A and B are shown apart, each in its own frame.
Chain A
């Protein structure tokens, strides 16, 4: 079955969630494009969007409309040709409105798996729980035809485990989108040793259609993305334990975030990133990885404690940031949670925050904020002298940054040595494309002398 045929009937399970809705929007755009081709005029296209929450499905429709509207506004030059034969559609606003309506006709929403029975492609983006995922795939296997391909958005569970558990005989592959899927260019593609070669080929073709850059990852829990992120997070948590003797807990969290964001020129500090992903998700992924890689001790008492205290981070449906390690006002951190006091301690430059700043010392010369470099084609010309200076500066901040960089590189090398990533390039691609870093772990900037 060719991909155009497969794309005539597609299902997304868990479509109401953040990842599911983004995946749905990407698929809908491609399916709408196909449905408007003259050769497909009499073909029916169906996108089944399944979720257990009615409320999320209602929100999903609004989200899809918004996404379609944005796409139509951007591609109106080409879109006008699709409606050239319709004399009633003249102005751009009419073209755009009609396109959104026509695309939404492809969508069916509901909470019953039966809706997926005629689908040739099924994308799963439900909770990161091995047992639940296996249960769902088992049900889908019974409902769907023998040629249906399954794509799981798991970011940590080995594909072989899901395949064996549900008995899919190689018809499942890991297609791990990054958050938010409509924006992020990266997708990790994880095949198990059972995954059918034609499914791998189909996945590569889908990635092209959805304009994603594929990085292959081996089927080891956490893959490349979380393999990096969890270890980076645990490193920072460990460092907090050391630093809190001098700076207190909130001072230590502040310092680590600052070193990551400012000294290492990353888009955000590691604790802010954990909040962005969700402390609950972080815990869940750690748990999965720990069960497959027990020798490494991938676990954090601090994360468990935060969860017990109900501090979870993550985002609201409108994309705004919930409070986690940090408290946010209009998206900006203003305080840090102290688990022993069970409250947020506001930033105080005269007090603890200032002390942490002073402890780290001034920013090494040549430092440029991440934001100023993201779109800079000559960014390496600025990064190279800065990291050179960073090597020589004798401040606590620079020292901590060097330790951080060394660990960053060590994690990258570990992912290659464990056979999870095939090459330094793959690790670097995941970190730069998926996490928006300016440089990957295997880079001249991470070579600590």
Chain B
């Protein structure tokens, strides 16, 4: 694959609140904002940071399952709603399950790289609280292979898939250690989210998070080897940001101090119709990360802040191995030792991650890029981590399904 032909910048990031259980203002039976509201808020939030929306050449929107959660297709048509200048601009929707947002990022980036556009408005959205969790599980199950897996699958299809991963990892590397590491991941996620006013767990006041994270699984009501606190949230929300070329950045009047540059990217796909070969590894994610490191010519030691796709706490542990920060079989140790905390070896998911911030599935990849942008440009507020000038890069991994659709992006100083 060709290396980066030109500089691509990310700027003007915006996240809405991640709304769902946990937020004080959330009530399942009260009216809530819809898809349109979130897309508009995120889009306008981005536009407010650039000089003129007329400079936007095209729009991309990531979304997983609006067709079922909201009975809405044709999402590109929501982009011109944001601002009249977007009427008639080319727009595209991307879908790759929970990796949809990552695909939106990459589609935007590739448009800049191919000289088609100078400025791309990149969005991601999902509104999931339209149905109860038991029905949402059906919808999210679409991230697996329906024909061969759904019938024999669990009521909570995806949680059970990762519960199986947890069981396999526990069997190989010690149940107690892994269980405690998963609880520690939960603790970190909530502690970070408590500093982020937009996070779904912002209001969490639980005095003993570790004990909560250690709750025994309840196989009758949920999964065999994970508890509900091991799961990311059911969320409504959207994120947006701008992808721009050198020329695009100039046109927008954005100073480079407010932007980051892409240094490397990797994208990998695996066969949806097959189950993972080894439940204790995220091999597709590892492949995407490897490509990104190679392109950037850097390694884990150069990364100062990390955003991983922790759809479940066990995924967080496995991600530390897939990204090369921990050796195979040592991800649990790495997390339990506090190395992913904000003051640890590699600050990971500083704004809460999917477990703490929330997981509006099709928008999460975009949210991760927005948060990396904010961390690296000093705009992360209470969630700001200290970026060591010797390790000026940030990396994010967006994952769709059971390690099937993966994008990894490395950004750094503009």
Contact of B138 with A92 in the complex, beta carbons under 8 Å: yes
How far, in whole Å, are A205 and B161 apart by their CA atoms in the complex?
38
How far, in whole Å, are A264 and B7 apart by their CA atoms in the complex?
71
* Interchain Cβ contacts under 8 Å between A and B, 16 examples: A76-B134, A77-B154, A77-B156, A77-B221, A77-B222, A80-B154, A87-B151, A90-B146, A90-B150, A90-B151, A91-B138, A92-B134, A92-B137, A92-B138, A93-B135, A95-B155
Which residues of B are in contact with A by a Cβ distance under 8 Å? 132, 134-135, 137-138, 141, 146, 150-151, 154-156, 219-222
Known contacts A92-B137, A92-B138; decide if A76 and B155 are in contact (CB<8 Å).
Answer: yes
As a 0/1 sequence over residues 227 to 255 of chain A, the CB contacts with chain B under 8 angstroms (1 = contact) are 00000000000000000000000000000
How far, in whole Å, are A157 and B60 apart by their CA atoms in the complex?
72
How far, in whole Å, are A216 and B135 apart by their CA atoms in the complex?
42
Asked if A418 is at the interface (CB within 8 A of a chain B CB), the reply is no
9 A-B pairs besides A73-B134, A77-B155 with CB distance below 8 A are: A77-B219, A77-B222, A79-B155, A80-B154, A91-B150, A92-B135, A92-B155, A93-B135, A93-B138
Known contacts A73-B132, A80-B155, A96-B134; decide if A91 and B220 are in contact (CB<8 Å).
Answer: no
User: Inside 8 A of B220's CB, which chain A residues have their CB?
Assistant: 77-78
How far, in whole Å, are A96 and B134 apart by their CA atoms in the complex?
10
Asked if A135 is at the interface (CB within 8 A of a chain B CB), the reply is no
How far, in whole Å, are A92 and B155 apart by their CA atoms in the complex?
6
User: Inside 8 A of B135's CB, which chain A residues have their CB?
Assistant: 92-93
How far, in whole Å, are A411 and B135 apart by their CA atoms in the complex?
49
Asked if A74 is at the interface (CB within 8 A of a chain B CB), the reply is yes
User: Inside 8 A of B154's CB, which chain A residues have their CB?
Assistant: 77, 80
Give the shortest distance, in Å, between A372 (CB) and chain B (any CB): 14
Centre residue among A80, A90, A95, A96 by max chain B CB count within 10 A: A90
How far, in whole Å, are A155 and B352 apart by their CA atoms in the complex?
54
Centre residue among B137, B150, B151, B221 by max chain A CB count within 10 A: B151
Give the shortest distance, in Å, between B216 (CB) and chain A (any CB): 16
Contact of A74 with B221 in the complex, beta carbons under 8 Å: yes
Going nearest first, the 7 A-B pairs with the smallest beta carbon separation are A91-B138, A76-B155, A77-B155, A90-B151, A92-B138, A73-B134, A76-B134
User: Inside 8 A of B221's CB, which chain A residues have their CB?
Assistant: 74, 77
How far, in whole Å, are A73 and B220 apart by their CA atoms in the complex?
13
Give the shortest distance, in Å, between B145 (CB) and chain A (any CB): 12
The chain A residue sitting closest to B152, CB to CB, is A84
User: Inside 8 A of A78's CB, which chain B residues have their CB?
Assistant: 220
Q: Which of A60-88 contact B (CB under 8 A)?
A: 73-74, 76-80, 87
How far, in whole Å, are A76 and B159 apart by their CA atoms in the complex?
14
Q: Which of A72-126 contact B (CB under 8 A)?
A: 73-74, 76-80, 87, 90-93, 95-96
Centre residue among A91, A93, A96 by max chain B CB count within 10 A: A91
User: Inside 8 A of A95's CB, which chain B residues have their CB?
Assistant: 155
Cβ-neighbour of B141 out of A77, A91, A96 (below 8 A) = A91
How far, in whole Å, are A92 and B137 apart by their CA atoms in the complex?
8
How far, in whole Å, are A77 and B218 apart by their CA atoms in the complex?
11
How far, in whole Å, are A78 and B220 apart by their CA atoms in the complex?
7
The chain A residue sitting closest to B221, CB to CB, is A77
The chain A residue sitting closest to B156, CB to CB, is A77
The chain A residue sitting closest to B218, CB to CB, is A77
Give the shortest distance, in Å, between B155 (CB) and chain A (any CB): 4
The chain A residue sitting closest to B141, CB to CB, is A91
How far, in whole Å, are A93 and B222 apart by their CA atoms in the complex?
16
Give the shortest distance, in Å, between B156 (CB) and chain A (any CB): 7
The chain A residue sitting closest to B151, CB to CB, is A90
How far, in whole Å, are A87 and B150 apart by their CA atoms in the complex?
11
User: Inside 8 A of A74's CB, which chain B residues have their CB?
Assistant: 221
User: Inside 8 A of B141's CB, which chain A residues have their CB?
Assistant: 91
Give the shortest distance, in Å, between A82 (CB) and chain B (any CB): 12
User: Inside 8 A of B137's CB, which chain A residues have their CB?
Assistant: 92
User: Inside 8 A of A87's CB, which chain B residues have their CB?
Assistant: 151
How far, in whole Å, are A95 and B151 apart by their CA atoms in the complex?
11
User: Inside 8 A of B219's CB, which chain A residues have their CB?
Assistant: 77
How far, in whole Å, are A413 and B115 apart by their CA atoms in the complex?
89
How far, in whole Å, are A73 and B137 apart by their CA atoms in the complex?
12
User: Inside 8 A of B134's CB, which chain A residues have their CB?
Assistant: 73, 76, 92, 96
Give the shortest distance, in Å, between B149 (CB) and chain A (any CB): 10
The chain A residue sitting closest to B223, CB to CB, is A77
